[in-house]
A and B are shown apart, each in its own frame.
Chain A
């Protein structure tokens, strides 16, 4: 512990890291994460090459997208001060809408209809919470209970009449055509011309780190659809709308100090309504992503609580779009990886990655002289490291548990840095001070 007493470059480094702008900070964290993955993929037990393969990052992009969309939905709603635990229910409405739209009018209309279905759920939540002052959690839970019932009723009315459909399932809903991004990942022939596969070429060179990173990046651009592109573009768009437009400023004041906003003439109710409806539309898109990109059809219960994981990503990401993206990727990665990991080695080596991450937290906590945090990070990291060394395979429940564990760890170590909108979750009445 003597090393702690003298200030060093890395102390400044951590402090400096907190002062740079969010995109650069997140890029740095992502690069550090990739370095840890590369290290483990190279030196881990068994055959963990999958960790830095394009197949793993492709799965991450797919499995993170619904979490991301739900998280962005939560971002809009909570920035306006309305806690939206009904994301799950709105997602379910979206899955049904996407399937129905996809079957009858094709994938683009499926998006529109899914977003509208989700927005309807959002409207209901807004009416209950904003106009009638119902407790946000109660209204949200009610929507989560209502949505599966509504979709089952609709399926009974409509899908049972389709061939291959039933009360709990729709026939194939179709999907967008998929493509590889030209130049980066060897795009498909454009006008009879074959694009070079730059990243794939670097990947094959087997240069330490460089090849791993290019494989990971390549996977993000292979067999994607326009829907995937839209989903990820919504991150900067959300950031722009919320932080760079008049509308966004007014939405945020509704979540921070609504009475102050009202005194300046902002229509708080209107902005809360809009934000919650947008939130519902995003959740509907999250449901549509599951139907159109992941499954191919509607199936009762197929959201499997991803709306709640989206909320977790929102908290992990400190109510900011970049943070939500990072949270979604961090949760989506182990999930997609575990599905792709037929041998089981990669999932087990994930334990080592977690141990390394906790090691970094330990250094950070020691530098900042946070005794409790250091003990916790050191203890947990040590236990996981011992577990990794002694075990031969990781438990299969690990990837499913990861989002919750990550959020708990984030809350433990970063709770002082997390700042939710000041008026989030409170019931606001016009004219109150």
Chain B
């Protein structure tokens, strides 16, 4: 009896060990598995098998169903197309280890992608210590504006920025053509550091381009350096509700995850008052990412193709064309755009938007980047 028990324990113990070993290998090589898969289908040795992409999110970034997940999608595409590998990390809760995780990524990667302008200064420092590794920062030009003309902050640093004002202009046109109350709202996440003002300026210009008599009410959730405005859906909801109560029937939120509160507000306003009000999403096609119950309030979304920028950056390192300094992704290269999921925009509206889009691309319309 005792012998049997010992045997049973032995078997159990070895099982646990094997399971643990599998667990370990599973998690460390989660990314590599994709590579194996691609190599087997192409049946050729993968030239990029030891090329690693260091995807570095910011606090709470992964899983935001927007900006950061869009970056992850771009990396996934590169993994599928080029057979590279990827490692993603995220800083601790207060972001105090940003520099360390960048250094970690620099040691194990062939390109470090820093998702978000909050990385700008840490990237400049870490890139100087790792001159052989290219770095790309999303949403910061990574230029030294003290020199004339501005020069890159390092020979291995690229800044990938977007012409958010152009995309916002187009959704502003959509809002102006859809509003019935002749009043629309803009909900900004954090003011005072220049980025979200670009959204506001473009949106207001787009609305006014269609009909100068339409009123635009704009409100920000917090002020720089308080970045809570991007993670406060409750405050976003209250502000959006105030805008709907005040007579606006469309609100455009450029407020990160706080925008989710706006869609909730739109839904509740519809339920309580029976009138149709809309929200406009940002960064990714939010029709596909919001909760299904509020999906029918997403008029359109201003899409920022972070995936395209990330993909291009990886590609440029692979084919040796990596260029330091700022690269702007605008309408002409499809860096920004708008979505039509849900088919809430009429064909007529889309035709008008396309007309404005062509005018922006050919330079007839220059979209302002600072609100008037």
Residue positions of A touching B, CB distance < 8 A: 55, 59, 62-63, 145, 148, 155, 160, 163-164, 166-169, 171-172, 178, 223, 290, 294-297, 299-302, 304, 336, 339-342, 395-397, 400
- Answer yes or no: B292 CB below 8 A from chain A CBs: yes
Residues of A within 8 A of B65 (CB): 164, 166, 169
Q: Are A396 and B223 in contact (CB under 8 A)?
A: yes
- Answer yes or no: B222 CB below 8 A from chain A CBs: yes
Residues of B within 8 A of A178 (CB): 272
Contacts A169-B260, A172-B291, A295-B264; is A304 near B242 (CB within 8 Å)? no
Closest B residue to A103 using CB positions:
B291
Q: Are A396 and B220 in contact (CB under 8 A)?
A: yes
Residues of A within 8 A of B62 (CB): 167-168
Q: Are B219 and A160 in contact (CB under 8 A)?
A: no
For A55, A178, A296, the residue with the greatest tally of chain B CB atoms inside 10 Å of its CB is A296
Residues of B within 8 A of A145 (CB): 93
Contact of A342 among B63, B219, B223 (CB under 8 A): B219
Residues of B within 8 A of A341 (CB): 242
Residues of B within 8 A of A342 (CB): 217, 219, 239, 242-243, 246
Residues of B within 8 A of A302 (CB): 231-234
Q: How far is the CB of B252 from chain A (nearest CB, A)?
A: 14
Top 4 closest A-B pairs, CB basis? A166-B63, A167-B63, A294-B234, A296-B264
- Answer yes or no: B235 CB below 8 A from chain A CBs: yes
Q: Are A148 and B292 in contact (CB under 8 A)?
A: no
Contact of A339 among B60, B191, B217, B235 (CB under 8 A): B235
- Per the 8 Å Cβ criterion, residues 197-239 of B in contact with A are 217, 219-220, 222-223, 226, 228, 231-235, 237-239
Q: How far is the CB of B372 from chain A (nearest CB, A)?
A: 17
Closest A residue to B62 using CB positions:
A167
25 contacts between A and B (CB under 8 A): A160-B63, A163-B292, A164-B292, A166-B63, A166-B69, A168-B64, A171-B293, A172-B291, A172-B293, A172-B294, A290-B234, A294-B234, A295-B234, A295-B237, A296-B268, A297-B291, A299-B231, A301-B60, A301-B231, A302-B232, A304-B228, A340-B239, A342-B219, A342-B239, A396-B223
Residues of B within 8 A of A300 (CB): 60, 231
Report Cα–Cα, A301/B64, bound state, in Å: 12
- Answer yes or no: B14 CB below 8 A from chain A CBs: no
Contacts A168-B63, A396-B220; is A299 near B292 (CB within 8 Å)? no
Q: Are B238 and A339 in contact (CB under 8 A)?
A: yes
Contacts A148-B93, A164-B289, A342-B242; is A299 near B233 (CB within 8 Å)? yes
Q: How far is the CB of B82 from chain A (nearest CB, A)?
A: 26
Q: Are A164 and B290 in contact (CB under 8 A)?
A: yes
Q: Are A336 and B291 in contact (CB under 8 A)?
A: no
Residues of A within 8 A of B228 (CB): 301, 304
Q: How far is the CB of A405 from chain B (nearest CB, A)?
A: 16
With A164-B289, A164-B290, A296-B237 already in contact, 4 other A-B pairs whose C-beta atoms are closer than 8 Å: A155-B63, A160-B63, A172-B291, A302-B233
Closest B residue to A145 using CB positions:
B93
Report Cα–Cα, A336/B234, bound state, in Å: 11
Contacts A148-B93, A397-B226, A400-B222; is A296 near B233 (CB within 8 Å)? yes
Q: How far is the CB of B228 from chain A (nearest CB, A)?
A: 5
- Answer yes or no: B257 CB below 8 A from chain A CBs: yes
Residues of A within 8 A of B121 (CB): none
Report Cα–Cα, A172/B207, bound state, in Å: 31
Contact of B239 among A148, A339, A396 (CB under 8 A): A339
Residues of B within 8 A of A63 (CB): 238
Report Cα–Cα, A219/B30, bound state, in Å: 54
Task: Identify whether the interface residues of A are mostly helix, strand, loop, or mixed.
Answer: mixed
Closest A residue to B232 using CB positions:
A304
Contact of B238 among A62, A148, A164, A166 (CB under 8 A): A62
Q: How far is the CB of B60 from chain A (nearest CB, A)?
A: 5
Contacts A148-B93, A339-B239; is A297 near B246 (CB within 8 Å)? no
For A164, A341, A400, the residue with the greatest tally of chain B CB atoms inside 10 Å of its CB is A164
- Per the 8 Å Cβ criterion, residues 50-81 of B in contact with A are 60, 62-65, 69
For B69, B228, B291, the residue with the greatest tally of chain A CB atoms inside 10 Å of its CB is B291
Q: How far is the CB of A149 from chain B (nearest CB, A)?
A: 8
Report Cα–Cα, A148/B92, bound state, in Å: 11
Report Cα–Cα, A299/B232, bound state, in Å: 8
Q: How far is the CB of A301 from chain B (nearest CB, A)?
A: 5
Report Cα–Cα, A294/B245, bound state, in Å: 16
Contact of A294 among B64, B238, B246 (CB under 8 A): B238
Q: Are A336 and B238 in contact (CB under 8 A)?
A: yes
Q: Are B64 and A223 in contact (CB under 8 A)?
A: no
Residues of A within 8 A of B64 (CB): 166, 168-169
Q: Are A295 and B261 in contact (CB under 8 A)?
A: yes
Residues of A within 8 A of B290 (CB): 164
Closest A residue to B261 using CB positions:
A295
Contact indicator per residue, chain B 282-305, by CB within 8 Å of chain A (1) or not (0): 000000011111100000000000
Contact indicator per residue, chain B 99-110, by CB within 8 Å of chain A (1) or not (0): 000000000000
Closest A residue to B61 using CB positions:
A168
Residues of A within 8 A of B239 (CB): 339-340, 342
Report Cα–Cα, A148/B246, bound state, in Å: 36
Residues of A within 8 A of B291 (CB): 163-164, 171-172, 297
Q: How far is the CB of B64 from chain A (nearest CB, A)?
A: 6
Report Cα–Cα, A354/B235, bound state, in Å: 24
Q: How far is the CB of A295 from chain B (nearest CB, A)?
A: 4
Residues of B within 8 A of A223 (CB): 272
Report Cα–Cα, A397/B221, bound state, in Å: 10
Q: How far is the CB of A114 from chain B (nearest CB, A)?
A: 15
Residues of A within 8 A of B226 (CB): 397, 400
Residues of A within 8 A of B237 (CB): 294-296
Q: Are B234 and A340 in contact (CB under 8 A)?
A: no
For A178, A304, A395, the residue with the greatest tally of chain B CB atoms inside 10 Å of its CB is A304
